[in-house]
Amino acid sequence: MRLFACCDVHLRLKLLEEALKTSRDADLAVFLGDLTVYGKGLDAALEKLRALNEHVLVIPGNNEAPGELEEKASARGIVFLHARKTVFKGFTLAGIGGSLPTPFNTPFEIGEQEFKRVLSGFKGLDRLILLSHTPPFNTSLDITSMGEHIGSVELRRFIEEESPLACLCGHVHERAGLSERIGGTLVLNPGPRGMLIEL
């Protein structure tokens, strides 16, 4: 399967326009959160997101309130995937949005216990592709410019125990374009310009 993934656009809608060159050739497109800045400009951003592909999945970042994103995305035929899963071409895609608490009081911040609760619903799934706004803890993808690891411990534990095929994530802007492996799992931050991924 060919999957186009991107994240952390933060209303730079020209990036979504540029992504059309790649995303239309994919089987589906996934957006890993932070389409907006504190929820502003959501309608215009979703219109651009809808155009990426016939099949578009979205999870909220810490900048989107999940209720509003679900309502407005669903009205445009975009699949909202926070705390849910779907099967596409024999792969199971499961999503967890939001971030751990930040100093910025953003709209959707959750604790490790909520990560654990949501992820518990994804155990035992075959051919799993995990979509997470937050990266797993203690990787090259969760280090801030200050050298602090801000990823989720529970997300890393889930990956180590369940070995999904991939965990696509974002949130840490300076880590865009990086990937590594946790066991057999590809962990990748596609960044705002996006990437075409073959799975």
Domain residue limits, the chain? 2-198
Report pLDDT digits (tens) over 70-85.
999 999 999 999 999 9
- Cα–Cα distances in Å, from 25 out to 103, 197, 198? 39, 11, 12
Report pLDDT digits (tens) over 38-73.
999 999 999 999 999 999 999 999 999 999 999 999
pLDDT of residue 55: 98
pLDDT of residue 85: 98
**What confidence tier does 151 reach under pLDDT thresholds 50, 70, 90?**
very high
Contact status, residue 34 vs residue 3, Cβ threshold 8 Å: no
For all residues of the chain together, what is the average pLDDT?
97
CA 73 from chain centre, in angstroms, equals 15
- CATH number of the domain located at residue range(s) 2-198 in this protein: 3.60.21.10
Q: Tell me, what DSSP letter sits at residue 73?
A: H
Contact status, residue 98 vs residue 134, Cβ threshold 8 Å: yes
Q: Which two tokens stand for residue 80?
A: 């909202």
